[in-house]
Amino acid sequence: MKHHRHLILILTLALCSGLILGCASTPEKKLKTKGFTLSYRDKTSAGSPVNKIQLSHPVKLSEADVRRYLKSLVFEELSLFGKKNPVFLPQDLDRIGRLLTKAIQRVPNHKIIHYELETSRGTTAGDLFASKEYIHWRFDSIKGMNFFGRSYTSFGNINWRMVPQSGQEYHAVHKLLGTQAQENWIIAKLVSSKIKRSPRQKNTRQKSLHSSKNKTKALSRAPVNEGDSPAKSPDPALEEKLQFLKDLHEKNLIDEKEYDQKRKELLDTYL
Q: What is the DSSP string of 182-229?
A: EEEEEEEEPP-SS----HHHHHHHHHHHHHHHHHHHHHHHS---TTSS
Q: At what angle do helices 90-106 and 63-72 cross, to 10 degrees?
A: 130
pLDDT band, residue 66 (cuts 50/70/90): very high
HSE, CB side, 13 Å, CA atoms: give it for residue 144: 5
pLDDT of res. 6: 52
* One-letter identity of residue 263: R
> What's the mean pLDDT in 123-147?
95
pLDDT in the model for residue 3: 52
Q: Determine how many CB atoms are found less than 10 A away from the CB of residue 233.
A: 7
Q: Which residue(s) pair with 116 in the sheet?
A: 37, 125
Per-residue pLDDT band at 245 (split at 50, 70, 90): confident
- Under the banding of pLDDT at 50, 70 and 90, the label for residue 28 is low
Q: What is the mean pLDDT of residues 172-193?
A: 84
| pTM of the entire predicted model | 0.60
Q: What pLDDT is attached to residue 269? A: 74
> What CA–CA distances, in Å, run from 159 to 79, 88, 121, 127, 208?
7, 18, 15, 19, 54
Q: How far apart are CA 135 and CA 113, in angstroms?
A: 12
**Phi-psi group of 47: left, alpha or beta (phi > 0 → left; psi -120 to 50 → alpha; rest → beta):** left
Question: Over 70: is that where the pLDDT of 222 sits?
Answer: no
Instruction: Tell me how long the chain is.
Output: 271
Q: What is the mean pLDDT of residues 214-229?
A: 49
Mean pLDDT, all residues of the chain: 77
The mean pLDDT of 134-155, rounded to a whole number, is: 78
The most confident of the ranges 121-130, 214-223, 256-265 is: 121-130
User: Mean pLDDT throughout 250-254?
Assistant: 76
Q: Which of 160-169, 179-188, 190-199 has the lowest mean pLDDT?
A: 190-199
Long-range Cβ contacts of 173-176 (<8 Å, 24+ apart): 173/49
